[in-house]
């Protein structure tokens, strides 16, 4: 007898390790709420096995319609995919793959997730022309690219290792500039947006005491860290009377384009979805 489950689209998140990924919770929530048949599974794939995984994906052996790629495979996925969207090509990293006519296509939705979160939580945030971005690691790139593409005039990249910030300036162009940590107080004085892209403040770790009170009133502070939801940076910014947006929304919004590609319906980021993820994190409020 025909097994109808075989025709349901199956998607994955592949990483190493993968245990802590919350993506299955997000996509599972949407599949259920939209009444769609489909599945989304966690796959622990080692770096040695990853190229064969992509080959099988192309051949249709595994039966997946596509999936998310996470640490440490985003760069390799970008190289192994048959077609990469220009935005992901510039980043050199793909987090979303889909199979079409025997070819693996790839893009990166982290930047879209970042700006969509701000658009939804603080419309008009992009009227500020000057941004300070702390950090120059993997997470910083997509954010810098998305701020540049949104048209911000000046993006100041601040990093402990200033050479890493300079590499990103060289990559993303003249509207960016690189600075050491010591320059932060001065750089924040006329900035309308501050973004933390480092792990500082994550899981109770220390974060430097930054002078948010020096930023112009009406400025926005956001953080990619979402455990805790109210990070030390957000707490200090709030105390200084600034607007804040937490990092959970970026995680939820970056998942939207992939879901739409694999399962055919555009899902919404709702307060209920936030509550489900917060409960999982242990931050029910």
Which DSSP symbol is given to 128? -
Decide if residue 46 touches ligand ATR (CB under 6 A).
Answer: no
Minimum CB–partner distance for residue 179 and ligand ATR (Å):
12
Q: Look at strands 96-100 and 103-107 and give their pairing.
A: antiparallel
d(CA 157, CA 180): 9
Q: In what order do the strands lie in the sheet with 66-69?
A: 39-44, 10-15, 66-69, 96-100, 103-107, 83-84
Annotated catalytic residue, options 42, 74, 236, 261: 74
Decide if residue 180 touches ligand ATR (CB under 6 A).
Answer: no
Is 19 marked active-site? no
Nearer to ligand ATR by C-beta: 140 or 254? 140
d(CA 43, CA 53): 10
Nearer to ligand ATR by C-beta: 141 or 253? 141
d(CA 273, CA 10): 21
Decide if residue 138 touches ligand ATR (CB under 6 A).
Answer: yes
Which DSSP symbol is given to 181? G
Q: Which stretch binds ligand ATR (CB under 6 A): 4-12, 42-50, 131-139, 239-247?
A: 131-139
Decide if residue 159 touches ligand ATR (CB under 6 A).
Answer: yes
Task: Using the Cα atoms of residue 111, residue 254, residue 258 and residue 97 in order, give the sign of their dihedral.
Answer: positive
Beta-strand ranges (E) seen in 38-139 are 39-44, 66-69, 83-84, 96-100, 103-107, 130-134
- Binding ligand ATR by CB under 6 A: which of 160, 189, 265, 275? 160
Contact 220, 194 (CB under 8 A): yes
Minimum CB–partner distance for residue 56 and ligand ATR (Å):
27
Decide if residue 161 touches ligand ATR (CB under 6 A).
Answer: yes
Q: Which stretch binds ligand ATR (CB under 6 A): 56-64, 90-98, 133-141, 234-242?
A: 133-141
Site for ligand ATR in 190-229 (CB under 6 A): 198-200
Minimum CB–partner distance for residue 207 and ligand ATR (Å):
9
Alpha carbon of residue 246 to chain centroid: 13
- Binding ligand ATR by CB under 6 A: which of 164, 171, 175, 214? 164
Minimum CB–partner distance for residue 147 and ligand ATR (Å):
16
> Which residues are designated catalytic?
74
Query: Which residues contribute to the site for ligand ATR (CB under 6 A)?
Result: 135-140, 159-161, 164, 198-200
């Amino acid at each position: 007898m025909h097994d109808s489950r075989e025709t349901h689209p199956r998607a994955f998140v592949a990483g190493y390790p993968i245990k802590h990924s919350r993506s299955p919770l997000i996509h599972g929530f949407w599949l259920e709420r939209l009444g769609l048949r489909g599945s989304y599974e966690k796959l622990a794939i080692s770096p040695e096995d990853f190229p064969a995984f992509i080959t099988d994906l192309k051949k249709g052996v595994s039966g997946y319609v596509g999936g998310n790629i996470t640490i440490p495979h985003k760069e390799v996925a970008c190289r192994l995919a048959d077609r990469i969207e220009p935005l992901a090509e510039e980043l050199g990293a793909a987090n979303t793959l889909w199979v079409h006519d025997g070819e693996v296509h790839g893009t990166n939705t982290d930047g879209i997730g970042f700006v969509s979160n701000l658009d939804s939580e603080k419309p008009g945030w992009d009227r500020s022309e000057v941004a300070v971005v702390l950090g120059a690691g993997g997470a910083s790139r997509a954010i810098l690219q998305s701020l540049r593409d949104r048209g911000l005039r000046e993006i100041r990249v601040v990093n402990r290792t200033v050479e890493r910030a300079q590499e990103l300036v060289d990559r993303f162009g003249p509207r960016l500039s690189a600075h050491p940590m010591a320059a932060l107080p001065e750089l924040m004085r006329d900035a309308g947006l501050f973004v933390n892209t480092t792990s500082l403040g994550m899981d109770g770790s220390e974060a430097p005491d930054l002078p948010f009170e020096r930023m112009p009133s009406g400025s926005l502070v956001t953080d990619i860290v979402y455990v805790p939801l109210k990070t030390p940076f957000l707490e200090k910014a709030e105390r200084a009377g600034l607007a804040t947006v937490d990092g959970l929304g970026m995680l939820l919004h970056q998942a939207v384009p992939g879901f739409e590609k694999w399962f055919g319906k555009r899902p919404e980021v709702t307060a209920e979805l936030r509550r489900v993820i917060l409960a999982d994190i242990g931050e029910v409020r």
